[in-house]
Amino acid sequence: MSDSTSTPRPAAKPESTAAPAASNKLRLGALTALVVGSMVGGGIFSLPQNMAVSADAGAVLIGWAITAVGMLTLAFVFQSLALRKPELDGGVYAFAKAGFGDFMGFGSAWGYWISAWLGNVGYFVLLFSTLGYFYPIFGEGNTLVSIICASVLLWLLHFLVLRGIKEAAIVNQITTVAKLIPLCLFIIICAFGFSSGTFTADFWGQMNPKLGSVSNQVRNMMLVTVWVFIGIEGASIFSARAEKRSDVGKATVIGFVGVLLLLVLVNVLSLGVLTQPKLAELQNPSMAGVLEHVVGHWGAILISVGLVISLCGALLSWVLLCAEIIFSAARDHTMPSFLRKENAKHVPANALWLTNGMVQLFLVITLFSKGTYLSLIYLATSMILLPYFWSAAYALLLTLRGETYEVDSGPRSKDMIIALIAVIYAIWLIYAGGLKYVLLSALLYAPGVILFARAKREIGKPVFTTVEIFVFAAVLIGALIAAFGLYKGFLTL
């Protein structure tokens, strides 16, 4: 393992990279909006149907209980690491590198980056699929007109971010507030339309053999619950730009609690308006169908408009996060030096160009492959599971070593329990995702070694340590199996 395994070090900043001025720093409100804006994207608007496909009311409640505990521990992990390791900028990337070496850090940054821009491709598809409700020319979001319009919007967002991180964050705050309004109206209206008889009609899903056992229902809904929470680490990614370091942890926990409440209410209330089979048949965004059932056609219009606003805000948040994660890795010489370049507004310009270039490429691929929203988000979710695991494992490692607890040892036992639960939850998510997504993730992780090797050569160091050779070999074997599976057809996207 590299030296960073035993002695965490701050991210190296080249002389040519100036720190953001105090006036460009992000306050608690902006950081919280980044967390909420990242999590509340398109997932919540499709949640009723996405959940009903896999589970009925009883399993849904169990699944949310597991998710609440697991994601809350992850939120506490990010909060604790932000306070105990203030020198580590870049969130999931920095934690993996400090705890487990350069290649694990690179893998965490690479996986998070791919997850983020793949999610943006999914958001673009869903956005224009929603517009297809009003204008059939957009179809399911993967028609030629949809891809052209998505491309125009992509580059408008690109040049907005190039004008400055703080300016883009202010726009994100406005869109975050705007998209919460239709969600709150949905909850209030559906609370009046809720029927306990509908909610308990087939509580455990025993009348629908396709759902399987309760344990299978819970397992099958896990990737959806992770998808709607991706972004919980948003504030930690921007820790270097925070006005106060303590605000990073506060923003993470505040954002998590608020979004959890929204998600559970939307999901549970929907099951009291329409039964599981009817919810499973709805077209996404399924919240529109639920509200239309209660109040009529204007309800569907309200939700569709809210989703368009929500997706625009989420796209902005994720454009920021995509660029920031590989920029942070480049500053620490784990990504090639060309990704360190910032413009006069302290925006990581090259990282932004590479990110949105990949989004553009996959938008074009979506046109020919007819990729759907769900297929894209499942793959995006699988890519972020390892970065979450490494962050939780690093927090556990600190408590086992007693590192940062030398003076204040009081919270050590509590933090150890929280980190252990977070690690177990992360492992459970990888299991719940299934072997298919483990292999597909390996296929996407493997090409990243090219950038890792270039970064290592730039600083004159060997590409791998002994341990890292075995880790990469495992990734490469998984990638080859996935490629063979796709070629033979026993593995599909």
Residues 6+ apart with CB under 8 A from 482: 439, 440, 442, 443, 491
Q: Kindly report the pTM of this predicted structure.
A: 0.82
CA distance 124 to 34: 19
pLDDT at 48: 93
Tens digits of residue pLDDT in 87-119: 887 678 889 999 999 999 899 989 989 988 888
Which residue type, as a one-letter code, is found at position 388?
Y
Between CA 68 and CA 413 the distance in angstroms is: 21
Q: Which CATH class is domain 3-430?
A: mainly alpha
Domain coordinates in residue numbering, the chain: 3-430
Burial of 447 (0-12, 13-18, 19+ CB in 10 A): exposed
The residues facing 71 across adjacent strands are none
Task: Report pLDDT digits (tens) over 213-270.
Answer: 999 999 888 878 888 887 777 666 666 677 877 787 788 888 888 889 999 999 999 9
Considering the chain, what is the average pLDDT of its residues? 84
383 pLDDT above the threshold of 60: yes
Q: What is the pLDDT of residues 317-337, one digit of tens each?
A: 778 778 888 888 888 888 999
Among 369-378, 398-407, 474-483, name the one with the lowest average pLDDT. Answer: 369-378
Say whether pLDDT at 22 is over 60: no
Average pLDDT over residues 282-309: 89
Q: What are phi and psi of 26, to 5 degrees?
A: -100, 130
